[in-house]
Amino acid sequence: MTDRTPNLWPLYFGGFLGPFGGAMVNAILPEIGAGVGSDEAGVALALTAYMVPFSVLMVASGTLGSRWGMTRTVRWAYAVYALASAGCGLATALGPFLAARAVQGAANAFTTPLLVALISTLVPRERLGRSLGAMASMQAAGQAFAPLVGGLAAEWSYRVAFGANAVAALALALGTPTVAGAAKPAADWRALRNARLARSAGTAFCAQFGQTALMVLAALVAADRFGLSAGARGLLVAAFGLAGLVTGRAMGVLTERYGLLRVGLGALVGLGASVAAVGVAPWVGVLVVLVAAAGVSGTAARILTNSLAIASTPANVGGATSITMAAQFLGVSLVPSLLPLYHLSPVAASTLAGLVVLGGAAIAAGGRGGR
């Protein structure tokens, strides 16, 4: 970061808050149900209520944010997110709670892709890799730590977790750095119709499918094969985020030194191998190593996909990052389709997930226009 570069930590923490706020409820659905007077089936709609507006708006949020001004859009989105989080914490009935979750998801769609676009605007190209690495590590940490932290908060009151989310979002609304000239009225959809963006989105889909599959399958193997408790499984999954958090910036430096594609393709191959090996892990220790290794390689893969998105469409970086991230979440949504295969054969399920990741490596290698 140069002397002229604003403080990027609000952007990095924003990268943590997005996936954290979305996944936090996964471990505390029973407590939420008791608080809003709903059964398990009703409160499980909290996941759908968040993801549907988030996924739908993600496709358009980057382009719209570029037109309105990226900094302005992110600040307003955080303000709305803070209000929605407070609404979730204060709700005493299922309807208002689900409505607040939907607003949370809609607001978050206007933060995450624009944060990456802002980083690409603020950071010189020669130092972009390490900044995207820091961002990717915080995103991985938010995704992996959310169930653990949410569960710990629920030991006191799940409402505290939503209150903390609201305070954090408000702080980020005030702390997001200003980017002069960040509004681009000319940003439109036509610039997004290009093969390089399709390559970025396809790679992102495969990589995120593999990362999410690894965490789901590792937790299932830990329970079914090794008899780990829910708390121990939470710690196992958290190893993914911890490894990514610790190594993300270093992975970014490696991409700057040895080339984006060289490091990124190696990361995808490593991620695919880790995912495929989960189904045959003979000991708990091996499972932990595989999850941690995937955290490292998954973070490097996210640097690759974000960089490809940024480079694909200079005229509409926000739109390119939002479409790439929409593809990521499409990958997440398809992971449950592995469960029937897992119950037939854990080895087959993990192997298939690993092959999907290797397919992402083939897509990324198919157009060597970048470094």
pLDDT (tens digit, 9 = 90+) per residue, 142-173? 877 887 787 777 778 889 989 999 999 999 99
CATH of residue 259's domain is 1.20.1250.20
Instruction: Look at residue 275 and tell me if it is in a domain.
Output: yes
Residues 6+ apart with CB under 8 A from 294: 210, 211, 214, 240, 243, 270, 271, 274, 275
Do 199 and 170 share a structural domain? no
Q: At residue 119, does pLDDT exceed 90?
A: yes
The last residue of a domain, from among 117, 148, 175: 175
Region 110-123 average pLDDT:
91
Domain count, the chain: 2
Residues 6+ apart with CB under 8 A from 348: 279, 341
Region 27-56 average pLDDT:
86
Q: Are residues 210 and 356 in contact, defined by beta-carbon separation less than 8 angstroms?
A: yes
DSSP string across 260-276: HHHHHHHHHHHHHHHHH
Distances (CA, A) of 243 to 137, 215, 230, 288, 345: 8, 13, 20, 11, 28
Q: Are residues 344 and 220 in contact, defined by beta-carbon separation less than 8 angstroms?
A: no
Instruction: Look at residue 3 and tell me if it is in a domain.
Output: no
Do 202 and 158 share a structural domain? no
Do 170 and 247 share a structural domain? no
Structural tokens at position 45: 């709609």
How many other C-beta atoms are found inside a 10 Å radius of the C-beta of residue 229? Answer: 10
Do 261 and 170 share a structural domain? no
How far apart CA 135 and CA 12 sit, in angstroms, is: 5
Do 59 and 167 share a structural domain? yes
Instruction: Look at residue 187 and tell me if it is in a domain.
Output: no
How far apart CA 74 and CA 22 sit, in angstroms, is: 17
Do 315 and 230 share a structural domain? yes
pLDDT, position 184: 54
Instruction: Look at residue 91 and tell me if it is in a domain.
Output: yes
Do 154 and 33 share a structural domain? yes
Instruction: Look at residue 271 and tell me if it is in a domain.
Output: yes
Structural tokens at position 247: 């190594």
Q: Where are the alpha helices (DSSP H) in 7-154?
A: 9-23, 29-36, 40-43, 45-68, 70-90, 94-108, 112-122, 128-154
Do 122 and 240 share a structural domain? no
The last residue of a domain, from among 175, 202, 236: 175
Instruction: Look at residue 183 and tell me if it is in a domain.
Output: no
Distances (CA, A) of 159 to 8, 143, 151, 350, 351: 29, 20, 12, 36, 40
Instruction: Look at residue 185 and tell me if it is in a domain.
Output: no
Per-residue pLDDT reduced to its tens digit, 263-316: 999 999 999 999 999 999 999 999 999 999 999 999 999 999 999 999 999 888
Residue burial 273-307, b: 16+ Cβ < 10 Å; e: rest:
bbbbbbbebeebeebbbbbbbbbbbbbbbbbbbbb
Do 342 and 310 share a structural domain? yes
Which residue, among 104, 152, 306, 140, has the nearest Cα to 212 in the 3D structure? 140
How far apart CA 74 and CA 347 sit, in angstroms, is: 43
Do 33 and 166 share a structural domain? yes
Q: How does DSSP classify residue 176?
A: P
Q: At residue 367, does pLDDT exceed 50?
A: yes
The last residue of a domain, from among 108, 141, 175: 175
Which range of residues forms the domain containing residue 159?
A: 9-175
Instruction: Look at residue 348 and tell me if it is in a domain.
Output: yes
Radius of gyration of the chain from its Cα atoms, rounded to whole angstroms: 19
Q: Which of 22-31, 123-132, 303-312 has the lowest mean pLDDT?
A: 22-31
Q: At residue 57, does pLDDT exceed 90?
A: yes
Q: At residue 106, does pLDDT exceed 60?
A: yes
Do 316 and 170 share a structural domain? no
Q: Are residues 353 and 211 in contact, defined by beta-carbon separation less than 8 angstroms?
A: no
Do 348 and 203 share a structural domain? yes
Q: Which of 77-81, 231-235, 309-313 has the lowest mean pLDDT?
A: 231-235
Q: Are residues 297 and 268 in contact, defined by beta-carbon separation less than 8 angstroms?
A: yes
Length of the chain: 371
Q: At residue 4, does pLDDT exceed 80?
A: no
How far apart CA 33 and CA 28 sit, in angstroms, is: 9
Region 100-109 average pLDDT:
96
